[in-house]
């Protein structure tokens, strides 16, 4: 994009090279085996990309949504599942602690998370509370200098490999009585109770977290009791923007694969590239991908310059995954029987992208948010 800074352009190049060397060659195997590329995850820490939005004094880069989304796009082209785990660590855990933690908490937890020595996740959704996150029932009850936490968290990316959990709990009866904690692997009563097997994003570990009267020190409480609803909403905004970067990467990868395949595959004595219907499909995929790119990075630019909008973040989260799923399905159609098989990566890309229409707020929830905000604004002027 025209407004990328020299530093952002360098990040783009570094991530593109890394993705092609360390992610793309292994993506199919990790998808097939449902395994996680931990070697690459540690290497990302060495590249300094885990603290991309964090303060430099803790080892971070102090950058914003644009730089984060560049990483998501470049990694997403190669292995969307791995990229989802990167997002869970960097945006859901590290960024949350950097934005909301005390200086003491940041000093204690961020350096190892940013270096990659520790892996992080976030515990928000529950077995009975997905889209209705503020209805969560995991309870934290104060007992002297610690809290006793009881409940389960579901669909947690990086559950099996995380050392640190940014955990949302309920500390009162009200809808907004939510309080967050930094939980640590090894705390008595904490466990990963179930591994979840998925249609897509199979190279990203997902599990259920169980807290059975887990004692968490008062020092690990983030902010005051009841502060976490606003923390949640702020972090969801950047999560929804950056996860759309994964969908952009998937769309671009599908387009690249289709252009390559159309130039090689022959039918009726000539390559597919000679057929007008194939040309139409490729041209539309290109136009849709470029529309996605410019919409996404424009919102990133505005976000980084203080023009933040929950409505626009929700629109990005609604529109880009939907378009990427369409592009992936078109790519499968263009490849014919090969597209439906695992011989080519487009079927994996479609499976992976479908998660982006569900995670971080479903399409239906995004529609509710956008409509509610627009109608509320309109009523102000009546």
Domain extent listing, the chain: 6-119, 121-227, 229-380
**pLDDT, position 1:** 87
Going by pLDDT thresholds of 50, 70 and 90, the confidence category of residue 129 is very high
Distance CA 53, CA 41 (A): 17
User: Token pair of 214, please?
Assistant: 């887990």
Instruction: For residue 141, list its beta bridge partners.
Output: 148
User: Token pair of 290, please?
Assistant: 């470029």
**pLDDT, position 321:** 98
H or E element, residue 37: none
Four-CA torsion 242, 246, 248, 250, nearest 10 degrees: 180
Going by pLDDT thresholds of 50, 70 and 90, the confidence category of residue 135 is very high
Among residues 210, 152, 151, which one has the least CA distance to residue 185?
210
**pLDDT, position 350:** 98
**pLDDT, position 175:** 84
Show Cβ contacts of residue 188 under 8 Å, excluding neighbours closer than 6 positions: 214, 215
**pLDDT, position 19:** 98
Distance CA 147, CA 200 (A): 36
Going by pLDDT thresholds of 50, 70 and 90, the confidence category of residue 131 is confident
- Please indicate whether residue 239 is annotated as part of the active site: yes
Question: How deeply is 40 buried, as exposed, middle or buried, from its count of CB atoms within 10 A (0-12, 13-18, 19+)?
Answer: buried
Instruction: For residue 227, list its beta bridge partners.
Output: none
Specify whether the CB–CB gap between 123 and 167 falls below 8 A: yes
The CA angle 78-82-84, to the nearest 5 degrees, is 110
Going by pLDDT thresholds of 50, 70 and 90, the confidence category of residue 90 is very high
CATH of domain 121-227: 2.40.110.10
pLDDT of residue 381 exceeding 80, the answer is no
H helix intervals, the chain: 6-18, 24-33, 38-47, 65-78, 80-87, 95-100, 103-115, 228-264, 276-304, 310-335, 337-340, 346-354, 363-380
Active-site position among 239, 288, 347, 357:
239
Among residues 7, 87, 45, which one has the least CA distance to residue 249?
87
Q: Please compute the mean of the pLDDT values over residues 195-206 and round it to a whole number.
A: 98
CATH of domain 229-380: 1.20.140.10
The CATH superfamily assigned to 6-119 is Acyl-CoA dehydrogenase/oxidase, N-terminal domain (1.10.540.10)
pLDDT of residue 36 exceeding 90, the answer is yes
Q: Please compute the mean of the pLDDT values over residues 120-131 and round it to a whole number.
A: 95
Q: Please compute the mean of the pLDDT values over residues 53-61 and round it to a whole number.
A: 97
Q: Please compute the mean of the pLDDT values over residues 317-323 and round it to a whole number.
A: 98
**pLDDT, position 380:** 85
Going by pLDDT thresholds of 50, 70 and 90, the confidence category of residue 212 is very high
pLDDT of residue 119 exceeding 90, the answer is yes
pTM of the full predicted structure? 0.97
Q: In whole numbers, what is the pLDDT of the chain averaged over residues? A: 97
pLDDT one-digit tens code per residue, 238-277: 999 999 999 999 999 999 999 999 999 999 999 999 999 9
């Amino acid at each position: 994009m025209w407004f990328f800074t020299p530093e952002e352009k360098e990040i783009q190049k570094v991530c593109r090279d890394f993705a092609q060397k360390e992610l793309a060659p292994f993506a199919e195997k990790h998808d097939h085996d449902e395994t996680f590329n931990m070697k690459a995850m540690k290497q990302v820490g060495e590249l300094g990309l885990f603290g991309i939005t964090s303060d430099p004094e803790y080892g971070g880069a102090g950058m914003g949504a644009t730089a984060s989304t560049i990483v998501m796009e470049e990694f997403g082209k190669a292995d969307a599942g791995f990229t989802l785990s990167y997002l869970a660590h960097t945006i859901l855990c590290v960024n949350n602690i950097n934005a909301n933690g005390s200086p003491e908490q940041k000093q204690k937890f961020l350096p190892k998370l940013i270096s990659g020595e520790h892996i992080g996740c976030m515990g928000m959704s529950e077995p009975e509370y997905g889209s209705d996150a503020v209805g969560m029932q995991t309870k934290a009850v104060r007992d002297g200098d610690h809290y006793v936490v009881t409940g389960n968290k579901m669909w947690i990316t990086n559950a099996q490999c995380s050392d640190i959990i940014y955990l949302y709990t309920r500390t009162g009866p009200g809808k907004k009585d939510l309080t967050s904690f930094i939980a640590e692997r090894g705390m008595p009563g904490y466990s990963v109770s179930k591994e979840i097997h998925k249609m897509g994003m199979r190279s990203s570990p997902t599990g259920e977290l169980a807290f059975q009267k887990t004692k968490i020190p008062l020092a690990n409480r983030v902010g005051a009791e009841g502060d976490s609803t606003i923390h949640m909403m702020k972090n969801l905004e950047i999560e929804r923007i950056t996860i759309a970067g994964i969908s952009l990467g998937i769309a671009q990868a599908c387009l690249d694969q289709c252009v390559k395949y159309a130039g090689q595959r022959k039918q009726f004595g000539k390559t597919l590239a000679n057929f007008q219907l194939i040309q139409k499909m490729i041209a539309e995929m290109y136009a849709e991908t470029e529309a996605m790119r410019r919409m996404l990075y424009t919102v990133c630019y505005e976000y980084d310059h203080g023009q933040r909008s929950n409505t626009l973040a929700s629109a990005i989260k609604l529109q880009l995954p939907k378009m990427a799923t369409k592009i992936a399905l078109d790519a499968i159609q263009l490849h014919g029987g090969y597209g439906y098989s695992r011989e080519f990566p487009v079927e994996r890309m479609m499976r992976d992208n479908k998660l982006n229409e569900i995670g971080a707020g479903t399409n239906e929830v995004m529609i509710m948010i956008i409509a509610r905000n627009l109608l509320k604004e309109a009523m102000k002027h009546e």
